[in-house]
Amino acid sequence: MISANLEWVKSRIAEAASKAGSPPETIRLVAVSKTVSVEKIIEAHEAGAELFGENRVQEALEKIERLGQDGPNWHFIGHLQKNKVNQLLGRFDLIHSVDSAALAQVINEKSLARNLITPVLIQVNVSGEASKFGMAPNELESALRALSKLVAVRVEGLMTIPPYAPDPEKSRNVFARLRELRDQMDELGMEGICLKELSMGMSNDFAVAIEEGATLVRVGSAIFGDRPPG
Ligand SMILES: *Cc1c(COP(=O)(O)O)cnc(C)c1O
């Protein structure tokens, strides 16, 4: 079941990539395993998922511990509280969800203290939805200027979550806007800032996100099945 789902998702990724004119290997699949058991994560890993996304620090650390050093790679995709930063550093290859310059400052301080450089994406609230975390598009330039001075934080791109819409076409303009913002910010040529990654697209809209330039898609229920509510 998981392996068939994974094959289906990968083939849709390849199809969307070819529509967008991008080589399929330039798009990475983050299998979102929040609430999913370690057994199912192992099943997905054996079926070829290489990269898993978690949104709660405690839950993620327990899973990472159980899967061990030779396990898959992990990305953190949830809202991060400053007091959890220390626990998470060094355990994840990428944090997708840095949503304030103040959080980036904390990541920088703690990373410096441990001799780490922490790769991050900046979460942008493109649609301005009140319930969503993320920087406003008009805050992005000044935040990136501040972040470019942090030597232990490496900004690799942008991430967004569009408002929930059953019709994926409704999210297309949000994805296109994130790509435009990325292009505008990259053109400013800020030192140390190279926004190569665009993390956008989930189970119901990843194909549209890829057509609009996604390099990381975060797909949960299409691989693992529906999550229990809440
Ligand atoms: C849960 C989650 C996803 C995956 O959602 P699905 O609809 O199950 O694919 C992607 N991104 C974030 C930030 C999430 O919290």
Could you write out the three-class secondary structure of 185-207?
Answer: HHHCCCCCCCCCEEECCCCCCHH
CB 154 within 8 A of CB 191: no
In a domain, 225, yes or no: no
Q: Is residue 227 part of a domain?
A: no
CATH assignment of the domain containing 123: 3.20.20.10
Q: Whole-number mean pLDDT of the chain?
A: 96
Domain assignment of residue 96, given as a range: 2-219
Q: Which helix (H) or strand (E) holds 176?
A: helix 172-187
Residue 151 lies in a domain: yes
Question: Is 85 domain-assigned?
Answer: yes
- Say yes or no: CB of residue 134 within 6 Å of ligand 1: no
Report how far ligand 1's centroid is from the alpha carbon of 159 (Å): 12
The residues that bridge with 159 in the sheet, in sequence order, are 123, 199
Q: Is residue 34 part of a domain?
A: yes
Instruction: Please state the rounded mean pLDDT for residues 56-81.
Output: 94
Nearest residue CA, atom 11 of ligand 1? 218
The whole-model pTM stands at 0.97
Residue 171 belongs to some domain of the structure: yes
Residue located nearest, by CA, to atom 13 of ligand 1: 77
Read off the pLDDT band of 230 (50, 70, 90).
low
Residue to mutate, 202, 210, 223, ligand 1, most ligand atoms under 8 Å from C-beta? 202
155 Cβ inside 6 Å of ligand 1: no
Tell me what pLDDT residue 71 has.
Answer: 86
Q: Answer whether 169's CB lies under 8 Å from 127's CB.
A: no
Instruction: Report d(CA 33, CA 138) in Å as an integer.
Output: 32
Task: Find the 33 Cα to ligand 1 centroid distance in Å.
Answer: 9
In a domain, 18, yes or no: yes
Question: Mutation test of ligand 1: which of 95, 96, 218 has the most ligand atoms closer than 8 Å to its C-beta?
Answer: 218
Q: Whose CA is nearest to atom 7 of ligand 1?
A: 203
Q: How many domains does the chain have?
A: 1
Residue 224: inside a domain = no
pLDDT digits (tens, 9 = 90+) for 190-216: 998 999 999 999 999 999 999 999 999
